[in-house]
Amino acid sequence: MAPLTPSMNLASLAKVRDAYAPDSTKPNSMLLYCDFHLPKIGNLTIPVLKYIEGGRAPETGSLVFISGSFWMLPETDGSIEADTFEVVTEDASLALNLPPPSVNAIGTVASVIGRDVFMDVGAYSRETKQTVDYKIIVTVPDDRRRARMKLPQPGSNIAVRGILSHISIHAEIDIPAIELENLSYLPRTDATQPTTPSKPEPAAGIRTKRQLLAERALGSVDVGNPMKKTKSGPPEAFTLEELRGKSHAGPSSSQTSASNLSLPAVSDASSQSSTGDFSSPVKNTKASLRSAKLEAQKA
């Protein structure tokens, strides 16, 4: 599995405080100091690196939209290498309330303390041509929506989205703090750590409850006699066993239907006998024969 590439991107509106070219040999590479509004500490000035065609920097007080990689450098409040830099307005007299910066970060969970998730993230620096690694704090709000949210475990790879609320000072290290809006889990990069606990395999000969119910349901279903394919053709095409099987076959459906049709005749005869009509022939008994002999002698 490919290794995880940590990253952190910031997008926000900001006001330009100052701008200049730090290297006279590269007049188009500008360093702009921009004010961003962080909800917990107010305005914070963060340097922004940007290549500007023609070397014309926006005027002081201009409102700009910035989007790009964000990282923390030692003894600074961070730095932004802007991929997108658009001037919204150069009218410095407009008193606009700046929204908080939106942040997207991908990294690995280092530790979890309370509702604070410490992540290892990073950003690629074009100037140093390497990835700058640092830590951030992702605070999970204790509101109704996330009150019972399961926090990620150390070693998990996650992607978070939120707002940059403040820069937390821990000893000599400044750590960006993000108020969480959304969290997504990413695949692990270490194959030795299982993502799900292994389930014990059932012993041989032991069936589960689901298997027993399936067997019981299969035994209770009456599938009936499946239809058999019949063979047709001249008598020479049949073997002796097949001919015998045909001769001993049960009554056909036509015979059964004929017998069913003859049943009403019996009921008619029984109805006639009940009404006293004995015109139908009867079998000769000993009494009837004796009476016939006596009548013949008298004659």
Topology adopted by domain 103-185: OB fold (Dihydrolipoamide Acetyltransferase, E2P) (2.40.50)
Residue ranges per domain, the chain? 7-94, 103-185
pTM of the entire predicted model: 0.58
pLDDT given at position 55: 66
Q: Which residues of the chain have pLDDT under 50?
A: 1, 249, 252-282
> How far is it, in rounded angstroms, from Cα 186 to Cα 198?
20
CA-based nearest residue to 107, from 138, 66, 142: 138
Residue at 272: amino acid letter: Q
Contact 49, 80 (CB under 8 A): yes
Question: Residue 72: which residues within 8 A CB-CB, separation 6 or more?
Answer: 78, 79, 132, 134, 174, 175, 176
Residue pLDDT, tens place only, 51-76: 887 767 888 899 999 999 887 766 66
Q: Mean pLDDT in the chain? A: 76
Q: Is the dihedral of CA 81, 84, 86, 88 positive or negative?
A: negative
pLDDT given at position 102: 96
Does the domain made of 7-94 have the CATH classification 2.40.50.140? yes
Q: Do domains 7-94 and 103-185 have the same CATH topology?
A: yes
pLDDT given at position 197: 55
Q: Interior CA angle at 71 toward 65 and 76, to 5°?
A: 100
